[in-house]
Amino acid sequence: MAKYVTPPQDPPLFTGTKDSIVADSKALCDDTRSLLDKLVAEIKPSENPAAATFESVLRPQIEDENQSSLSARILGFYQYVSADAALRDASTEAEKIMDEFGIEVSMREDVFRLVDVVYKNSGLAESKEKNKDRLITEELAKSTGLESVESARLLEKEHKGYIKNGLGLPEGEKRDRFKEIKKKLSQISIAFQKNLNEENGGLWFTLEELDGVPQDVLDGLEKGAGENEGKLRLSFKYPDLFPTLKFAKNPDTRRKVFIENENKCNDNVELFREAIELRDEAARLLGYPDHATFRIEDKMAKTTKTVLDFLNDLKTRLGPGGLKEIEHLKDLKKKDHEERGLPYDGNYYLWDHRYYDRLMIEKEYSIDENAIAEYFPITSTVGGMLKIFETLFGLVFVELTPEDRKRISPTGKAEDIAWHEDVIIFSVWDDTSEGEGFVGYLYLDLHPRPGKYGHAANFNLQPGFLQANGSRRYPATALVCNFSKPTKEKPSLLKHDEVVTLFHELGHGIHDLVGRTQYARYHGTSTVRDFVEAPSQMLENWCWTPSQLKSLSKHYKTGESIPDDLIKKLISTKHVNDALFNLRQLHFGLFDMTVHTPKSHDELKNLDISKLYNDLRVDISKIKGPEAQGETSNWGNGQATFGHLIGGYDAGYYGYLSSQVYSTDMFYTKFKADPMNGKEGRRYRHTVLEKGGSRDEMVSLEEFLGRKPSSEAFYKELGLDS
């Protein structure tokens, strides 16, 4: 391993202070502003038409963007992970400063005029029109005098970006209003996410009310004093919430937890309403019928009709299966209530589902998810996952020891290259077959703590790109998760669904690490939103493959692999209550599309969003809510906890389902027969992952599949006819 000891690039530093984070964000904006002012002052197409070229106008901007991305993403990252509230606040402020500056830049008429001249002179629009698929090919890029598809794509997107940011609007009232909306939406997004991150609500329960909840969960709960003496405080963070909904025997406890969780962030209710109204107004100002049309035209789906047809078709196909699954679960609930002497009103409720879904798997498949978790201690499971990626993609992961960290830290201090003591760092390299070059840095931050981002996600910290001198800049990427903490008695043990989540997020991390693009803008996971999940979703299949489960497992006490009979049982549960799971995803997707495709702005203003969210859920998922007990439809505000729709997945949540069409097709076609096929793994790395968003994603997909994608495998996997 001697050859993998000294990375050719320093790891990033996490030494920001509350003052430096804000100051650095301002400095980045000032530098870019100065550059743009200089370009506008020096390049005068009216005096010299040949002065405005890709090299003179866009090259300096993209090189500035490449360099600033190295610190900009980290400045905005502290808000999700820092243990220091002052740093989190400073990071939120920095993001706000950079977002507002981004809006200012995207609406600079003087810079747009220069880009417009370059775009028109290139003849790119006319050349694309002649291409039957309207795609930018290598040949087309060269014919317009541009060096690569990526440069042509950059010019086109940059030009269109200005148009979509209102510069096609006449100067004056309309354009000013559009700018105001953009700024307000940025502020709403930051406030909404901050409310979610900092949410610290909870409920006090007696031990009796928490009967059935695993002991290791109870051990981690805050103990009450005074009026809460003898009680435990349950938060709404995942490691408390999910085990309670899955295991608490008392239906009233589950009901209380479920309803309170839907209302844990009610400060966001008005922010959500304001966001969808402003988006609709902005889209109409630009001449679009609604926000969804504006968002989807540049995605793989292209039109709202394609999206709605796909979602509604899936709803029709899955509906009967969902009802059938509910009938079976109702029988289980009825029997359970009779055995325990509890009243049964003939309904199956939202707060019943995790409990009876789990009970059904335990009883009918003899699977105890806590027993399975004993085979997946987090440290050895992560090691096993990295081994899979090493074999498939030709990578080597080297965990950095405290001594390594000290040695390679630019400051000579080990603690300066991580944001918290829990963080694990790997240097990542190509193996011998791939040339033994450096790939990047991977960070794992796996356990919850106060103020930390509450879900599981991959964050790019520094993108990769080609530097002006022709050398490569390598990426740094972080997995931020919330798996249960180790205790004195046992390590952190992963339930199988957590193994899948970890593999999924690591999939994003690998996509980020192996990206090899010219520009930071298109690096790694910077693809269209309705494709970005496909690579990670495809990798989830490895968590359902017997040989891979075996290699990932290692009992935390005995070191034994998971027995074959247990693997067989586990795999037999893959599609248990699958219709209900996918109907839940459809609820999110159709709610997203409904609020973003109103027939008129007035219709949207009069919309009762909470009622819509809850009514749609009952209609689509077929599971009853508190309405069946006499409450009104606005009993909960689930949309106020739905960070995706404010954080970039607006009119895009359908992508979780539509990208499964691509991911299942790729897995069935290339990996189902042999999941550890290193030849296909490397081909996948180089044709799909490496390219990021540097070319049309459909081109990468078709090149890998050897044909156009098909939905056949997707429907087959769901047990539905295509």
Radius of gyration of the chain (CA): 26
Q: Which helix (H) or strand (E) holds 395?
A: strand 395-399
What residue has token string 């920001």?
16
Question: 423-460 burial, b if ≥16 CB within 10 A, otherwise e?
Answer: bebbbbbbeeebeeebbbbbbbbbbbeebbbbbbbbbb
505 is catalytic: yes
In angstroms, the first-to-last Cα distance of the chain is: 49
Residue 462: name the closest of 10, 7, 90 by CA: 10
HSE of 147 in the Cβ direction (CA atoms, 13 Å)?
8
DSSP 543-607: GG-HHHHHHH---TTT-PPPPHHHHHHHHHTTTTTHHHHHHHHHHHHHHHHHHT--SSHHHHHT-
Token readout for 411 is 């400051």
Euclidean distance between CA atoms 93 and 100, whole angstroms = 11
Q: Which position has the token pair 């004993």? A: 374
Given the residues 505, 533, 697, 717, select the one marked as catalytic. 505
Please state the φ and ψ torsions of residue 223, each to the nearest 5 degrees.
-95, 140
496 vs 489: CA distance, rounded Å = 21
Task: Check: CB of residue 722 under 8 Å from CB of residue 688.
Answer: no
Cα–Cα distances in angstroms (integers) from residue 405 to residues 172, 244, 400, in the given order: 55, 39, 6
Residues with a catalytic annotation lie at 505
